[in-house]
Amino acid sequence: MSRLLVRFKSDLVIGSKKYITDEWTNVPTAITKLVGRNLYKQPSHPLAILAKRIEKRLEPLGFTSYKGFDPVVSVHQNFDSLGFPDDHPGRSKSDTYYINKDTLLRTHTSAHEIECFQTSPTPGYLITADVYRRDTIDRTHYPVFHQIEGARTWSSKDPQLIKRLQDDLAAIPRPNNIEVEDNLPPFSETNPKQDNQSDEVTRLIGENLKRTLEFIVADLFKTPSSTVDKMGKDKAKGISGGSPSEPAEKTKIRWVEAYFPWTSPSWEIEVFWKNEWLEVCGCGVVRQQVYDNSGMPDSVGWAFGIGLERSAMLLFKIPDIRLFWSSNPKFTDQFKEGEISEFQDWSKFPSSYKDIAFWNDSNLHENDVMEVVRTFGKDLVENVQLVDTYHNPKSKKTSVCYRITYQSMDKTLTNEEISTIQNQIIDTLTAKGAVIR
């Protein structure tokens, strides 16, 4: 009881600011420590290289680039202003890092849509930032990742709107190094258009959005030959790993229907990578309510949000999302501003796993289990997987078994190190009501 009281009264420090905590507070120190790392602002970091590349492509088409918005935003900015329904799972404490009831670490760059709509001096804008989500642990998920968001607006009152949309569409270069699969109609019953927009306006905005994103994706996946030369030389110097330069192949991408509370119709773009389709971007035609909330009701347009890590993993061939946070010079010194180069894995240290099985009597959410693992395992955990669930119909109890895979980027872990972490995880889960089997 006394421990709870102390916690309620204490402040949470993020960067140089203090925040009042309450029963919503769920941001652990492991996460607050990552605020302000600003990976996307270090010019030779892969995330920054990608963001810059997208900016350079879109700025000539009328886009202003923003950076440096505070990751601490209001519930209103992140959810309400975008029309997230009250029961949207994204709002829950199990999915989002709350500082307190009204304040959180932004879960997406869309939290800044309204201020960007209001301040952008150009019809389009881009914003790059770190975003925070309580999520599973594996090679493509990390609680902090980065997005670049883009939006493009037109005036709905423009008497020449159709002509302008047609001209703007014609101005987007058509790449020939991608193979696009798009069998979707411009809008449909399941992916409806805005009531106050004509069919043709919706179609043209959707086309503009899709062609813009294809242009970006096609540019990113075009590796300059200079990169291959440079890597060839590096290999001669004896840096291990890497595969011989590959022949230029068309990158397969496809469009799928999606849902976002503040866009309709909405889509996702997926890239075919290592035999699977990977979602890299969500997007759609901005809903009228968002323009109304921005005080610019006579607007139409689109918005997209690209996950930078996923694209960077494809492009730089970075095998594990944890690497982006590495300050090991073997990682950081590999990359050069403006260049997409193939990551040279310096070494693979062995991984080993330990299972943890418990009766989930206190109904712990999977993301709560993940948070406990992250708190003690930090970046030594490569993957956490639910390998078994058993429901006993008589006792009405559920047993779960999670497999925790340990692997360090820098050394071989000893059994003792792993056991120490595993025991801390077990103790903490037990304290939270799990009954270890």
Closest residue to ligand FA5 in the complex (CB): 307
Neighbour count for residue 365 (Cβ, 10 Å): 14
Nearer to ligand FA5, 175 or 307 (CB): 307
Nearer to ligand FA5, 57 or 310 (CB): 310
CA 43 distance to own-chain centroid: 20
Choose, by CB under 6 A, the member of 203, 210, 211, 310 that binds ligand FA5.
310
CB of 160 to ligand FA5, least distance (A): 26
CB of 141 to ligand FA5, least distance (A): 4
Residue 76 to residues 125, 287, 293, 305, 414, Cα–Cα distance (Å): 21, 17, 11, 19, 47
Asked if 147 interacts with ligand FA5 (CB under 6 A), we say yes
Nearer to ligand FA5, 98 or 142 (CB): 142
**What is the number of alpha carbons within 13 Å of residue 111 lying toward its C-beta?**
26
Sign of CA dihedral 42, 43, 47, 53: positive
CA 373 distance to own-chain centroid: 21
* Angle at CA of residue 86, ends 111 and 309, nearest 5°: 35
Residue 317 to residues 46, 237, 278, 314, Cα–Cα distance (Å): 11, 20, 14, 5
Choose, by CB under 6 A, the member of 79, 215, 304, 343 that binds ligand FA5.
304
Q: Is 323 exposed, middle or buried (0-12, 13-18, 19+ CB in 10 A)?
A: buried
Tokens (6 digits) for 211: 């062609």
CB of 153 to ligand FA5, least distance (A): 13
| Paired residues of 73 in beta bridges | 104
Nearer to ligand FA5, 302 or 406 (CB): 302
* 257-296 positions binding ligand FA5, by CB under 6 A: 260, 263, 279-284
DSSP 3-state percent helix, strand, coil across the chain (nearest 5)? 35, 30, 40
Q: How many residues of this chain interact with ligand FA5, rule: CB under 6 A? A: 23
Stretch that binds ligand FA5, among 179-187, 301-309, 372-380, 393-401 (CB under 6 A): 301-309
Choose, by CB under 6 A, the member of 135, 345, 368, 382 that binds ligand FA5.
135
Task: Give, as one character, the DSSP assignment of residue 245.
Answer: P
**Residue 120 and residue 43 in contact, taking contact as beta carbons nearer than 8 Å:** no
Nearer to ligand FA5, 309 or 422 (CB): 309
3-class SS of residue 237: coil
Stretch that binds ligand FA5, among 140-148, 197-205, 243-251, 395-403 (CB under 6 A): 140-148
Residue 8 to residues 5, 99, 133, Cα–Cα distance (Å): 5, 12, 23
Nearer to ligand FA5, 130 or 149 (CB): 149
Nearer to ligand FA5, 63 or 358 (CB): 63
45 closest CA partner among 327, 307, 258: 327
Nearer to ligand FA5, 178 or 312 (CB): 312
Nearer to ligand FA5, 142 or 406 (CB): 142
* 81-110 positions binding ligand FA5, by CB under 6 A: 108, 110
Neighbour count for residue 66 (Cβ, 10 Å): 19
Asked if 316 interacts with ligand FA5 (CB under 6 A), we say no
Stretch that binds ligand FA5, among 305-313, 360-368, 375-383, 428-436 (CB under 6 A): 305-313
151 closest CA partner among 69, 84, 65: 65
CB of 280 to ligand FA5, least distance (A): 5
* 105-134 positions binding ligand FA5, by CB under 6 A: 108, 110, 133
Asked if 371 interacts with ligand FA5 (CB under 6 A), we say no
Nearer to ligand FA5, 79 or 358 (CB): 79
Positions in the binding site for ligand FA5 (CB under 6 A): 108, 110, 133, 135, 141-142, 145, 147, 149, 260, 263, 279-284, 303-305, 307, 309-310
